[in-house]
Amino acid sequence: MSRRVLLVDSDVDALGALASALRSMGLVVENAADAASAVEQAYQNRPDVVLAARDAQRGGDVREVFQQKGDLTDIPVLFLVDKVVGAELGSDELLRVDIDQIVSRITELSRRVSRPPLPQDIRGDLEQVPLVDMLQLLTMNRRTGILGVTAARGSGEVRLSEGQIMDAVFRRLTGERALYRLLGERRGRFAFAPGEVPASRRIQGNTSMLLMEAMRQVDEATQRRSKLAPEGEVFVLEDQANLLELLEVPPSAGPGSVMPSSLRNELSKLLRVPRSLDELLDELNAPDLDILDTLLELKKSGTIKTIPLATLTTPLAAPEQIPVLRSLATRLVRPGFKPPPRLSIATTPQRLPVLAHSFRRITDIIVPPDTTTNASLPRPLGTLRLGEGVEVAVIGLPTDDAFAPAWALSLPGTAAVIRVGDAESVALEAHCEAVEVMLIDAENLIGAFDPTVPAELAALLRAALEAAAGAA
């Protein structure tokens, strides 16, 4: 059977990303938010290895707690770190992003305690044998074990006991939602491993009735997906500056509209940056059909818009333009300041996360590792690498007057400030004038500007380099 791993971290995003990566490598993964819930999970599922966040605020002292439980002391505990502090990692530390090393250590430590693998007596292709047919076969034969699935959108498993579905996991989802999503996968591979499964049960009810309901929901979800994003488009709020007004139920929606306020609030947070349908369905704690219906209403009302996949990644400039941009960048260093020179993009705090997301989609820009969208600003958005050691740093500058004390840290030495959208600020204009920094309106450079489209952001950066160098 697959090795069983227990992840302990209160950071849901970090936990989900690592859990998905490990499941795709064939591991059985359970999650816990703190040391207390980790102990409970360990008693229920007996992991081969525990991976806990090194930060005590996020995972607690898991090793110490396990050492106090006599029957858990033999379970190896390793710590996950986000970056190396000092010369090298400790013997019990693993870099969170190094998935191959994590899997290697898990295999090494669990070799002596894992049970020997049982034969996987059923393997197949989802295109030849749909998952629902395989589950019906296992149910009729009262089989016990784990049905693992590897599909295009991720990996998961369905756990059965005496032919009854006990639990399911898929990507970051568990229980019925995970089962419904797995049944919607049409391409991939499956393998059934017979053997014991954990006693815990997150899926209740008769399996035959459950599969009938699941297939109904899968069919309806497929229809809604085809209306929302037939080519895999991503979604983003149409107007970041008028967020609360946009999220009101439109008058045309009618009494049958499915737009719970909690869903609208969660969508308002997630759609500040472009997100795919799968990301939204994974992140939101609501039935998939409710989420899809809410997205349909928001799309119909013009509250959200779709972005084609082809526009999500772009180079900063064509290869023949790079030498010209490099020459312009060398003229931006202000006297008395060390390179690299800086450009600042000034906009409302609501738009800055969108800009940060678009920066990550420009292939010639190096973005900082810390991508926290709620961090205090100003903050770095990215660095333009133009070759031959020539770089230009780009800073995000919030235009709200509340951030005025922080402008003094960013504006000196800046080659130019590019103002985006309706980010009017008399105080910012006064600060720029005081330190003799040119203030440019984005629309004067390239016309109407959409910060959600990386290609338009790349055009703005090219134009800003030219304007700033011309005034240097």
- State residue 53's pLDDT score: 86
Average pLDDT for residues 28-48, to the nearest whole number? 83
Closest CA to 348 of 455, 236, 442: 442
**Which CATH number is 455's domain given?**
3.40.50
* Cβ atoms 163, 134 nearer than 8 A: no
Is this structure's pTM higher than 0.85? no
Determine which helix (DSSP H) or strand (DSSP E) holds 463, and give its type and residue range: helix 454-471
How crowded is residue 282: how many other Cβ atoms within 10 Å of its Cβ? 19
CATH at 9: 3.40.50.2300
- Tell me: do 353 and 444 sit in the same domain: yes
Does 115 reside within a domain? no
Q: Are residues 249 and 216 in the same domain?
A: no
Q: Is the pLDDT of residue 324 over 90?
A: yes
**Domain end call among 75, 110, 145:** 110
Choose the final residue of a domain: 275, 310, 345.
Answer: 310
Let me know if residue 378 belongs to a domain.
Answer: yes
The answer, yes or no, to whether residue 117 has pLDDT greater than 50, is no
CA 133 to chain centre: 32
Residue 377: predicted pLDDT = 67
- Alpha carbon distance 440, 437 (integer Å): 10
Are 305 and 343 part of one and the same domain?
no
Q: Are residues 375 and 237 in the same domain?
A: no
- Copy the structure tokens of residue 275: 């997100």
Which pLDDT does position 460 carry in this prediction? 92
- pLDDT for 111 equals 56
Q: 26 and 86: one domain?
A: yes
- The answer to whether residue 441 sits within a structural domain is yes
Q: Is the pLDDT of residue 115 over 60?
A: no
Q: Give the span between the Cα atoms of 119 and 184, in whole angstroms.
A: 27
CA distances from 214 to 5, 186, 315 (A): 28, 14, 43
Asked if 199 and 238 sit in the same domain, the reply is no
Same-domain pairing of 285 and 380: no
134 is a domain residue: yes
The verdict on residue 324 lying in a domain is yes
Among 77, 72, 46, smallest CA distance to 61 is for: 77
The answer to whether residues 425 and 333 belong to one domain is: yes
Q: How far apart are CA 385 and CA 365, in angstroms?
A: 6
Confidence bin at 394 (pLDDT 50/70/90): very high
Give the structural domain span for 198: 122-222
Q: Are residues 208 and 234 in the same domain?
A: no
Q: Please report whether residue 236 resides in a domain.
A: yes
Domain-located, residue 458: yes
Residues 413 and 452 in one domain: yes
Q: How many domains does the chain have?
A: 4
Asked whether residue 116 is assigned to any structural domain, the reply reads: no
| pLDDT at 463 > cutoff 90 | yes
Tens of pLDDT, residue by residue over 63-108, are 888 888 777 888 888 888 887 766 677 888 888 888 888 888 888 8
3-state secondary structure 192-220: EEECCCCCCCCCCCCHHHHHHHHHHHHHH
Structural domain ending residue among the three candidates 285, 310, 335: 310
Same domain, 288 and 396: no
Region 366-384: mean pLDDT is: 72
Are residue 349 and residue 305 in the same domain, yes or no? no
